[in-house]
């Protein structure tokens, strides 16, 4: 797989692997051995960029650590801090003491002595960004962290952090049906030389066409509380999926592959991190990195997206209040 360079010279595979769904957010946790095998399969397919977080649970980091231990020096591992006691239901905590505690726990769970990319999971308005960036700068000086990242941060926070400790990457949602970063975030990242790591590049699975109004999500699947996934909004958004399907059919590709190719085509310093629990979907996603959209294809897609109003908010109000700070 082709490589891409994020900020501060951080080289990653063009397509990363988001490990969250292996244990968190999308239903019951996967069997540990199967999850380890899937991550190793991703590596065999050329993926060298793997994303986890304290908030996804200790098991998630442990799976990533076990899977990648044999090839640790050949991969980039990203994890995150920012929630009280590592629990995203208990509020934010990016205090320096908490950041230091998280890195020690993560290093142990990941079976490594350094983390390649350490993100602040959400901006904590109670802690000055200068203190957050300064603490990570200290961890970099100690060799425990290689690069600093932010997740779902706003323009002011990105500038404040970058002025203290250069930011290698911003991780935020970005896809055909969530293009808000194009307004202010992408121009700022280009100005500052910061890479972009889109999560949910497949619209939390919706853009693949596998989710319809009849799809029943597991009771523990967080999409049950996402307005965009209500039955009415799913029905309204199907038209976008149908238009993507038409393009995919013409190109001999799948919806997922076109959606990933579109994200990759936006900027050379973008490295999306789709997740999956299935080997077949992993293989499909990786093949998407080789789909080349022509300028005519991109213009056609732009026309479709500009003329389509997506129905439903991407987060419920309580979660929406945590982003863009």
Radius of gyration of the chain (CA): 19
Query: Residue 217, SS3?
Result: coil
Q: Give the integer Cα–Cα distance in Å for 298 and 294.
A: 6
Residue pLDDT, tens place only, 98-109: 999 999 999 999
Active site residue 56: yes
- pLDDT value for 27: 87
* Contact assessment for residue 88 and residue 60, using Cβ atoms and an 8 Å cutoff: no
Residue pLDDT, tens place only, 33-49: 999 999 999 999 999 99
* Contact assessment for residue 12 and residue 3, using Cβ atoms and an 8 Å cutoff: yes
Q: What is the mean pLDDT of residues 279-301?
A: 97
Q: Give the integer Cα–Cα distance in Å for 186 and 201.
A: 15
- pLDDT value for 35: 98
Q: Report residue 196 as tokens.
A: 């972009």
Q: Provide the CA 41 distance to its chain's centre, in angstroms.
A: 19
**HSE of 86 in the Cβ direction (CA atoms, 13 Å)?**
19
**Which residues neighbour 34 within 8 Å (Cβ) at sequence distance 6 or greater?**
none
Residue 118 DSSP symbol: E
- pLDDT value for 132: 98
**Which residues neighbour 277 within 8 Å (Cβ) at sequence distance 6 or greater?**
21, 22, 26, 30, 35, 38
Helices (H), the chain: 32-44, 58-68, 96-109, 129-141, 155-164, 185-192, 231-251, 255-266, 279-288, 295-306, 317-320
Query: Residue 234, SS3?
Result: helix
- Quote the mean pLDDT of the chain: 97
Place of tokens 């020690």: 104
Residue pLDDT, tens place only, 66-93: 999 999 999 999 999 999 999 999 999 9
* Contact assessment for residue 259 and residue 202, using Cβ atoms and an 8 Å cutoff: yes
Residue 31 DSSP symbol: P
Residue pLDDT, tens place only, 194-233: 999 999 999 999 999 999 989 999 999 999 999 999 999 9
User: In sequence order, what are the beta bridge partners of 77?
Assistant: 50
- 193 pLDDT higher than 90: yes
Catalytic residue among 26, 56, 119, 174: 56
Q: Are strands 3-5 and 11-13 parallel, antiparallel or unpaired?
A: antiparallel
Query: Residue 46, SS3?
Result: coil
- pLDDT value for 41: 98
pLDDT grade, residue 115 (50/70/90)?
very high
Q: At what angle do helices 279-288 and 255-266 cross, to 10 degrees?
A: 40
Total Cβ atoms within 10 A of residue 147: 24
* Contact assessment for residue 256 and residue 283, using Cβ atoms and an 8 Å cutoff: no
Residues in the chain: 325
Q: Give the integer Cα–Cα distance in Å for 154 and 322.
A: 10
- 177 pLDDT higher than 90: yes
> Domains in the chain and their CATH numbers?
3-202+267-291 (3.20.20.100)
Give whole-number Cα distances, 239 to 154, 217, 250, in Å: 31, 21, 17
């Amino acid at each position: 797989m082709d490589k891409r360079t994020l900020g501060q010279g951080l080289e990653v595979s063009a397509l990363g692997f988001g490990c969250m769904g292996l244990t968190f957010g999308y239903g019951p946790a996967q069997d540990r051995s199967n999850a380890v095998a899937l991550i190793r399969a991703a590596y065999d397919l050329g993926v060298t960029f793997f994303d986890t977080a304290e908030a996804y649970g200790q098991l998630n980091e442990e799976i990533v650590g076990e899977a990648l231990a044999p090839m640790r020096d050949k991969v980039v591992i990203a994890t995150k801090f920012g929630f009280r006691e590592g629990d995203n239901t208990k509020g934010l905590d990016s205090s320096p003491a908490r950041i230091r505690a998280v890195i020690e726990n993560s290093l142990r769970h990941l079976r490594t002595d350094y983390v390649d990319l350490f993100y602040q999971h959400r901006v904590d308005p109670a802690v000055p960004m200068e203190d957050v960036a300064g603490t990570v700068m200290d961890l970099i000086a100690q060799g425990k962290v290689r690069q600093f990242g932010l997740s779902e941060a706003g323009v002011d926070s990105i500038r404040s952090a970058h002025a203290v400790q250069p930011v290698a990457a911003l991780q935020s949602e970005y896809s055909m049906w969530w293009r808000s970063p194009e307004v202010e975030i992408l121009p700022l990242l280009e100005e500052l030389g910061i890479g972009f790591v889109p999560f949910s590049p497949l619209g939390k699975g919706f853009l693949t066409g596998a989710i319809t109004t009849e799809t029943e999500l597991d009771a523990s699947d967080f999409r049950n509380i996402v307005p965009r996934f209500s039955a009415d909004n799913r029905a309204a958004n199907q038209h976008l999926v149908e238009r993507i399907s038409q393009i995919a059919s013409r190109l001999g590709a799948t919806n997922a592959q076109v959606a990933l190719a579109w994200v990759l085509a936006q900027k050379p310093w973008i490295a999306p991190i789709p997740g999956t629990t299935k080997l077949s979907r992993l293989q499909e996603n990786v093949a998407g990195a080789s789909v080349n959209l022509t300028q005519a294809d991109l213009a056609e897609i732009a026309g479709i997206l500009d003329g389509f109003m997506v129905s439903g908010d991407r987060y419920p109000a309580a979660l929406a209040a945590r982003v863009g700070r």
